[in-house]
Each structure stands twice: as structure tokens, then as C-alpha cells.
Structure 1
Amino acid sequence: MSNRDAELYQKMIDGDKQSLEALYDKYEKLLYSFVIKLSSDETLAEEVLQEVFIKLWTQKAKYDNTKGKFSSWLVTITRYTAIDQIRGNKKHNVSLQEETDVPEEQTQSTEDLVEWKEKSAVMKQAVQKLSDDQKLIVDLFYFKGLSQSKIAEQCNLPLGTVKGRLRLALKHLKEHVSAVEGGIRDA
């Protein structure tokens, strides 16, 4: 998190509305573009953006700087909020390709953009190494927002099988990402 973001976030937590406005001004285009890319729905994007900043203001979502960059955390909160909204509406579909693309309107630094693209490439590579069954389950659960029971119903599988495939897929993804990141650090 940049010093400016840290300052603004702390002031916002302390009740400073101007800091919230400054964070909104800085990140609104990035987050709005991200949700549009995810859902192709402008109304949903506006609702998600509003909900994300309400969560920030009411401190229902709290940032921990030991767990990563503020911008990455904010995009993650936006992603989960969008998925919750999509699940509620049940009329939106999101593809794996769309989920990992960088929003077109980029208000972040070049460093943030490069980091985003690197992580996206690593994750795409990891997903490609999954079995077809695991890819399908990951896509339906994480990117289309279906519940495990809905996936079981849609794929005509027992719920335990869906849970097992999802758990195994996550294990494989984690191993691949750790191996790649470990290799980058060792280089």
C-alpha cells in the first residue's frame, strides 16, 4: 500500500469523509471497469461499487497491510461483492477468461499493472494444469458464482464429489502458484 493510501485509509477509519472520497476518486474507475468486465451490467457495477465503499466506511471490510497491497485487497472485496450480487440476480454469467483480465481503464501504477498481469498469468497457467472436471468445478464455483449444491445438481454429481474436486483443485492451484512464486524468488 502506498503511503498515501495508508494515510487515507487510516483517516477514513477515524471518520474522515474526505479520505473516503479521495479513495473513491482514486479507485472508482478501476473497480467499475472490473465489475463491467465481470458482468457486462452497468447497473450491477454501480451497485457493487456503492456496496464496496459502504463496506469500507462502515468497516465491515478491514484491510490488513501484512496480507498484501491495498489495491489488490480492494479488487478482491469488489470481486466477492460482485459475485454475491450475481448470485442474488442469477442472470449473469462470468467466464474464466473475463475474471482474470485486467480492467481496461487502469488508474493504478505501472508496477500494479505488471503485478496484476503476472499473477493473472500464473493463475491461468495453474488452472490450465487442472483436469477438465476440476476446471469445470472451479469455473462454476468461483467465476460463475454457483453454490456447490447447484454445481452438483447442474453436473449431475453427488455433492461430496463436487466438494472433493473443488478441494483437490484448490490444492493443485496452491501448489502450482507456490512453486512458481518460489521459483521467482529463488531466481
Structure 2
Amino acid sequence: MSTQDEELYRRVLHKDKDALETLYDKYEKLLFSFSYKMTNNHGLSEEVVQDVFMKLWTQKGTYDSSKGKFSSWLLTIARNAAVDLMRKKKDTPYELEERDALQTNEPSVEEMYEWKEEATAVREAMRVLNDNQQRAIQLFYFDAKSHREIAEQLGVPLGTVKGRIRMALKHLQTEMNRREGGKERHE
């Protein structure tokens, strides 16, 4: 976590609205695009972003810097919120016009470069995973499948799916830390 993010997060814990607004301005686009990739729905993606920052404000869950980057923690909250919303609104049809209308709001060159750089780093780090772990991570994080759905799809026990995901995340964290070792990161 950058020193700036750490300070802002500490201030949010003490109910500093300006700090929350600063974090919102910094991460809103990232969280929106991440949730939009999961939901393909503009409205749901906006709800996800709102939910993430409400949870941050009401302190539903606490960030622990020893477990990873602040941005990764926010993305995990966003992923869980998106999955919850999609399950609640499973019978709600998503409108293609809404998705197509979003295409006019193109990200800046800097944002595209940053996302590409992060995506490349994660893709490269995933190479350390075996095929079973890669598949479990893909289904859970990118296809928003539940543990049970993954178990059914892969034809393996539920505990096996949970174990694969847990081990894959440990391997990914180790690999990302190894790759970032010594590099100064600016968030």
C-alpha cells in the first residue's frame, strides 16, 4: 500500500469524508471497469462501486497490509459485491444498449497502460500455477462462479476447489512479491 493510501485509509477509519472522497476519486474508475467486465451492466457496476465505498466507510471488513495491496483488497470487495448483486438480480435482463453506450466513455491512455501493465503482470504470474489452479482462479475471479458451481463444472469435490483457489492465491502472492521485489511502486 502506498504511504498516501495508508494515510487516507487511516483517516477514513476516523470518519474523514475528504479522505474517502480522495480514495473514491483514485479508485472509482478501476472498480467500475472491473465490475463492468463481470456484470456487463452499467447500473450494476455503479451499484458495486457504491457498495465498495459504503463498506469502506462503515468499516465492514478491515484492510491488512500484510495480506496484499490496498487496491487488491478493494478489487476483492468489488468482486464479492458484483457476485452478490448478479445473484440477487439473476432474473434481470441486461440491456445491450447500456453496454454499448458505455463504449463512448473510453479510458485515458494512462489508465489503459496501467491496466495492461497490471494484467500482464497477473497473466505472467499465473504461469506458476498448475492447470487446475489456473482454471479454478479463472472460474472464480473472472467468471464469477461460486465454489459449488466450479465443483460441479469441474467434477471435483467442493473442498478440492477451495483448496485449489487457496493454494493458487498463495502461489500468486509469492510470485507477485518476487516480481515486485526491489521495485519501487507508485500507486
The normalised TM-score by structure 1 is 0.67
| 1:76-131 CA-partner distances (Å, limit 9, x unpaired) | 211121122122223699xxxxxxxxxx84777x78864553123322x356x425
Instruction: Report deviation, 1:162.
Output: 3.1
1:173 aligns with 2:168: yes
Q: Which residue of 1 aligns with 2:46?
A: 46
Against the structure 1 CA distance between its residues 105 and 76, is the aligned structure 2 distance closer, same or farther, given a 3 Å change threshold? farther
1:156 and 1:7 map into 2 onto residues whose CA distance is 43
In the alignment, the residues of structure 1 paired with residue 3 and residue 53 of structure 2 have an alpha-carbon distance, to the nearest angstrom, of 20
Aligned pairs for 1:121-132 within 5 A? 121-123=124-126, 125-126=127-128, 129-131=130-132
Q: Quick check: 1:67 aligned with 2:67?
A: yes
Runs of 4+ in 1 over 6 A off after TM superposition: 110-113
Structure 1 unpaired stretches of 5+: 94-103
Aligned equivalents of 1:122, 1:33: Cα separation in 2: 22
Displacement of 1:59: 0.4
Aligned residues: 167
Query: Does the C-alpha gap of structure 1 residues 105 and 64 become closer, same or farther in structure 2, counting only changes over 3 Å?
Result: farther
Match of 2:184 in 1: none
Partner of 2:36: 36
> What per-residue deviation string (whole Å, max 9, x for no partner) do you get for residues 2-53 of structure 1?
2221221111111111111111111111111111122210001010000000
Indicate how the Cα distance of structure 1 residues 152 and 112 shifts in structure 2: closer, same or farther if over 3 A, else same: closer
Answer yes or no: is the 8 Å Cα contact 1:148–1:163 preserved in 2: yes
- What SS class does the counterpart of residue 157 from structure 2 fall into? helix
Alpha-carbon separation, structure 2, partners of 1:3 and 1:178: 20
Q: Structure 2 unaligned runs (5+)?
A: 95-105, 182-187
In structure 1, the residue matched to 2:143 is: 144
Q: Give distance in 1, aligned partners of 2:154 and 2:118.
A: 39
**In 2, distance between residues paired with 1:112 and 1:24?**
18
SS at match of 2:72: helix
Partner Cα distance (1:169, 1:151) in 2 = 11
Percent identity among equivalent residues? 40
Going from structure 1 to structure 2, the CA distance change for 1:54 and 1:165 (only over 3 Å counts) comes to same
1:9/1:19 contact within 8 Å kept: yes
RMSD of equivalent CA atoms: 3.7
Per-residue CA distance 1:45-78 (angstroms, 9 max, x = gap): 0100000000000000211122222122212211
TM-score by length of structure 2 reads 0.67
2:120 counterpart residue number:
117
